[in-house]
């Protein structure tokens, strides 16, 4: 086992096992579910890392990985457990909880990815600053693309006869945002990429808040 694989697996156990104990003692089912999705997100970082390594083992494939293969693999790995909300018996009516759980999965993934990039850095003061910036940009992007997948499922879940193509369409939408972000980072429009996650977060926050206000008498 190489150093990076060891880091991914060890960090997963170090974070996930204590969180599982917390989830076990929490009475509120919604809070417990969010923690479990967060744990899945941490695991999805391990899963995506190994799948990406399998498909992109040479430097000549780095650009293709960042713009096409990696976004697809990562979005699918993060979003898979969100499909559990389509179980009509357990979730007869999908509410905004799916958005919180989806975002928790994406954020869990982003932690693993941020730790990976910090591990391969020179680890000086500038790298710490870059890590902080990353948590406000790329890490948030991972959370929001998965949250948008949850948004879509919440609205489209009633269209059972079209559910399969809709799921693929929502995954494609998340992958497209992810790939666009990666593409812009390497251009003179990088500043657009850096503000994209924050705009996505504000939009999502406004939407959820607006849902709550409509339910109030």
Structural domain includes residue 122: yes
* Residue 45 DSSP code: H
Residue 103 CA to residue 98 CA, distance in Å, equals 9
Considering the chain, what is the average pLDDT of its residues? 86
Res 155: pLDDT: 85
Task: Inform me whether the pLDDT recorded for 30 exceeds 60.
Answer: yes
| Domain residue limits at 187 | 3-57+65-212
Rounded alpha-carbon distances, angstroms, from residue 7 to 127, 132, 186, 187: 18, 20, 27, 31
Structural domain includes residue 45: yes
Structure tokens at 122: 């020179």
The number of C-alpha atoms within 13 Å of 106 and in the hemisphere containing its C-beta is: 31
Task: Inform me whether the pLDDT recorded for 107 exceeds 80.
Answer: yes
Q: What is the CA radius of gyration of the chain?
A: 18
Task: Inform me whether the pLDDT recorded for 70 exceeds 70.
Answer: yes
Residue 117 CA to residue 112 CA, distance in Å, equals 9
Task: Inform me whether the pLDDT recorded for 67 exceeds 60.
Answer: yes
Structural domain includes residue 217: no
Structural domain includes residue 85: yes
Domains: count for the chain: 1
Task: Inform me whether the pLDDT recorded for 157 exceeds 50.
Answer: yes
Residue 23 CA to residue 29 CA, distance in Å, equals 9
Angle between helices 97-119 and 3-25 (to 10 degrees): 150
Structural domain includes residue 87: yes
Higher pLDDT, 122 or 41: 41
Rounded alpha-carbon distances, angstroms, from residue 147 to 151, 165, 170, 175: 6, 19, 11, 12
């Amino acid at each position: 086992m190489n150093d990076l694989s060891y880091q991914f697996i060890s960090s997963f156990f170090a974070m996930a096992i204590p969180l599982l104990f917390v989830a076990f003692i929490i009475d509120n089912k919604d809070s417990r579910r969010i923690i479990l999705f967060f744990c899945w997100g941490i695991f999805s970082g391990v899963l995506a890392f190994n799948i990406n390594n399998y498909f992109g083992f040479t430097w000549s494939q780095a650009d293709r990985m960042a713009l096409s293969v990696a976004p697809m693999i990562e979005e699918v790995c993060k979003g898979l457990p969100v499909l559990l909300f389509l179980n009509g018996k357990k979730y007869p009516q999908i509410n905004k909880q799916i958005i919180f759980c989806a975002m928790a999965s994406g954020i869990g993934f982003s932690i693993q990815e941020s730790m990976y990039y910090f591990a391969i850095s020179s680890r000086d003061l500038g790298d710490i600053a870059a890590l902080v910036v990353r948590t406000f940009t790329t890490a948030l992007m991972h959370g929001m693309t998965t949250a948008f997948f949850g948004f879509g499922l919440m609205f489209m879940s009633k269209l059972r006869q079209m559910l399969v193509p809709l799921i693929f369409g929502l995954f494609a939408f998340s992958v497209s945002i992810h790939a666009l972000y990666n593409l812009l980072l390497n251009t003179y429009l990088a500043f657009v990429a850096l503000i994209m996650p924050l705009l996505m977060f504000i939009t999502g926050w406004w939407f959820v808040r607006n849902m709550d206000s409509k339910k109030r008498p």
